[in-house]
Amino acid sequence: MSATHTILNLPDQSTAALPKKNYINAEDGILSWLLTGDHKRIAILYLISITFFFFIGGAFAGLIRLELLTPQPDLVASDTYNKLFSMHGIVMIFLFLVPSVPATLGNFLVPIMLGAKDLAFPKINLLSWYLYWIGGLFTLAALVLGGVDTGWTFTTPLSTHYLNTHVVTAATGVFIIGFSSIFTGLNFIVTVHRMRAPGMTWFRMPLFIWSNYAASILMVLGTPVLAITLVLVALERTIGIGVFDPNKGGDPLLFQHLFWFYSHPAVYIMILPGMGVISEVISTFSRKRVFGYTAVAFSSVAIALFGFFVWAHHMFIMGVSNYSALVFSLLTMLVAVPSAIKIFNWAFTLQKGSITFETPMLYAFGFMGLFTIGGMTGVFLGALGMDIHLTETYFIVAHFHFVMVGGMLMAFLAGIHFWWPKMTGRMYSESLSKLAAITTFIGFNLTFLPQFILGYLGMPRRYHSYPAEFQVLNVLSTAGATVLGVGYMLPLLYLAWSLKYGAIAGNNPWQATGLEWQIQSPPLTENFIETPIVDHEAYDYEWLAHKTEHEVTTVG
């Protein structure tokens, strides 16, 4: 097919207009937003919030890469460098990645995809946004007061006994953000179980729902363990309760068991919703139902389940017994299988599909390649012998950035670009967005591929000085980071521009299946004029073609 072929189908711009009534203009005034129960408005509030924190986390990344341009520790002091990577991790993980898809796209789309008017508990939804901000403010306070330098992992006894930085403030922030996450997940689970429209059986739900549902189970069951762990660290620092203190008979490794019991499932909390986005995007831009729907659906749940069994692979060199390391290593190999199932199913979805290369699809392709590399390097790390050599080096840094940035962040951007017309009623500049996607892809690879080599060669992570022979690779990485930064700034510009000047998108610019594409863009506050009755499978393009033929499209 020609490179200019696109399935983008906008209404006639000379007569098109935004719908007269929608969730954005339904009520006026800042309070109507700050006290809203509308899941869509809360999604937008979250979107603005996480973008803000993303750029803060990105600023830290910039400073890290700047320092690493030279082998000498010449930009910042050691303590400051420790604070930079700690804050980068804390902000990016807890304030950006964990809420990214669920709190923005999930909040917006889950009720609509299910045919519901809202999530089960709108007030809890709003509460979760306020908790996000209160936790975020604590984290910012820790930063402003001087920073925390424990690493995002708060490892004991460093965090409990050897530092006098603002560990408790940061830990409190993360604790509160954790509850924001729990409430989001709780809301999704109840909504999926109890608020599906008539005819919407479990196996007719979009795969985006399955992924968010699985992630929500992890949020609800895993996050509380992080919460109690941070409480114990705080108690140990403040009133001397010595649960992790070897001097009092405690075991510092207990901290790590409890911490990673959440933090490993956390990576699945982060990636699963992204995988849900990819299912939707790949299907739409191949005009084909997702291959092996059931396998993909169950693989989401399998990832969630198995994700609970592998946490000690973060602790192989920390003093766990060899027997236990063996068990966790084996389970780690197994947990890769459901992820691989998804990649294969997406690949088979592409096969014989009518593929077009709009921006969301570009990001999705990027995801497939980069997540595969990231995931496979995870399997390498799961092998005990390899891990001893590679752990705590830049190989790990490269691995998790491949899955989290090359994977998750690309999926998030895919989702934003895919559903932007639905959320705002506007279309963005396709050429600029494609440019941003390609820039991001190039910048990403330039930043992180050298880091695999660096790690393999032995450069430790969390160090701000290194042997001179590593400089070339570090310079490449920093150059890449600059390109990556540009790639991330571009969407801010053209997406904001589109709000006022973008083309009117209409109900279904991508000609996608899914209930969200059958309603106006932006949607009404109550989503549906009438409760939909679902009588077709997910990704049923014949049904869509049949419906479009027999329908008069109205806008507004």
The full DSSP string for 17-83 is ---SS-TTTSS-SHHHHHT---HHHHHHHHHHHHHHHHHHHHHHHHHHHHHTTSSS--SS-HHHHHH
Smallest separation (angstroms) from other proteins to the CB of 200: 6
Q: Is 225 in the site for other proteins (CB under 8 A)?
A: yes
Of positions 66, 76, 327, 476, contacts other proteins by CB under 8 A: 327
The letter for the amino acid at 55 is F
d(CA 435, CA 426): 19
Q: Is 246 in the site for other proteins (CB under 8 A)?
A: no
Bridge-based pairing of strands 503-504 and 426-427 is antiparallel
Of positions 75, 76, 127, 231, contacts other proteins by CB under 8 A: 231
Of positions 52, 130, 202, 501, contacts other proteins by CB under 8 A: 202
Smallest separation (angstroms) from other proteins to the CB of 1: 31
| Residue 264, number of CB atoms within 10 A of its CB | 23
The full DSSP string for 474-529 is HHHHHHHHHHHHHHHHHHHHHHHHHHHHSEE--S-TT---SGGGGS-SSPBTTB-S
Stretch binding other proteins (CB under 8 A), from 15-23, 101-109, 242-250, 357-365 = 242-250
Q: Are 169 and 134 in contact (CB under 8 A)?
A: no
Q: Is 400 in the site for other proteins (CB under 8 A)?
A: no
First to last CA, the chain: 34
CA torsion, points 366, 371, 374, 375, in degrees to nearest 10? -160
Residue 253 or 435: the one with the smaller Cβ distance to other proteins is 253
What are 426's strand-pairing partners?
Answer: 504
Of positions 11, 71, 157, 224, contacts other proteins by CB under 8 A: 224
Q: Are 57 and 94 in contact (CB under 8 A)?
A: no
Q: Is 42 in the site for other proteins (CB under 8 A)?
A: no
Stretch binding other proteins (CB under 8 A), from 93-101, 134-142, 227-235, 434-442 = 227-235
Of positions 220, 386, 438, 555, contacts other proteins by CB under 8 A: 220
Of positions 9, 79, 240, 330, contacts other proteins by CB under 8 A: 240
Of positions 170, 177, 320, 446, contacts other proteins by CB under 8 A: 320
Instruction: Enter the tokens of residue 68.
Output: 């690493």
C-alpha 270: how far from its chain's center? 4
Stretch binding other proteins (CB under 8 A), from 286-294, 305-313, 434-442, 513-521 = 305-313
Smallest separation (angstroms) from other proteins to the CB of 221: 5
Stretch binding other proteins (CB under 8 A), from 93-101, 114-122, 129-137, 425-433 = 114-122
Nearest of 528, 522, 506, 521 to residue 16 by alpha carbon: 506
Stretch binding other proteins (CB under 8 A), from 58-66, 121-129, 390-398, 505-513 = 121-129
CA torsion, points 141, 144, 149, 152, in degrees to nearest 10? 50
d(CA 343, CA 339): 7
Q: Is 232 in the site for other proteins (CB under 8 A)?
A: yes
Instruction: Enter the tokens of residue 506.
Output: 């209409």
Burial class (CB in 10 A: 0-12, 13-18, 19+), 383: middle
| Residue 407, number of CB atoms within 10 A of its CB | 29
What are 427's strand-pairing partners?
Answer: 503
Interaction pattern, residues 72-111, with other proteins; x per rule: CB under 8 A = ---------------------------------------x
Smallest separation (angstroms) from other proteins to the CB of 465: 34
Q: Is 254 in the site for other proteins (CB under 8 A)?
A: yes
Nearest of 169, 140, 123 to residue 55 by alpha carbon: 140
Stretch binding other proteins (CB under 8 A), from 134-142, 216-224, 277-285, 455-463 = 216-224
Q: Are 489 and 78 in contact (CB under 8 A)?
A: no
d(CA 108, CA 116): 11
Instruction: Enter the tokens of residue 181.
Output: 């996450």
Q: Count CA within 13 A, CB hemisphere, residue 136.
A: 24
Stretch binding other proteins (CB under 8 A), from 323-331, 342-350, 428-436, 507-515 = 323-331
Stretch binding other proteins (CB under 8 A), from 47-55, 88-96, 461-469, 529-537 = 529-537
Residue 219 or 505: the one with the smaller Cβ distance to other proteins is 219
Q: Is 484 in the site for other proteins (CB under 8 A)?
A: no
Q: Are 112 and 527 in contact (CB under 8 A)?
A: yes
Which of helix, strand or coil describes residue 449?
Answer: helix
Smallest separation (angstroms) from other proteins to the CB of 231: 8
Of positions 8, 235, 386, 432, contacts other proteins by CB under 8 A: 235
Smallest separation (angstroms) from other proteins to the CB of 248: 5
Q: Is 16 in the site for other proteins (CB under 8 A)?
A: no
According to CB under 8 A, which residues from 174 to 193 bind other proteins? 182, 186-187, 189-190, 193
Residue 240 or 467: the one with the smaller Cβ distance to other proteins is 240
Question: Residue numbers of the site for other proteins (CB under 8 A)?
Answer: 111, 116-122, 124, 182, 186-187, 189-190, 193-202, 217, 220-225, 227-229, 231-232, 235, 239-243, 248-251, 253-254, 257-258, 261, 308-309, 312, 319-324, 327, 526, 530-531, 533, 535
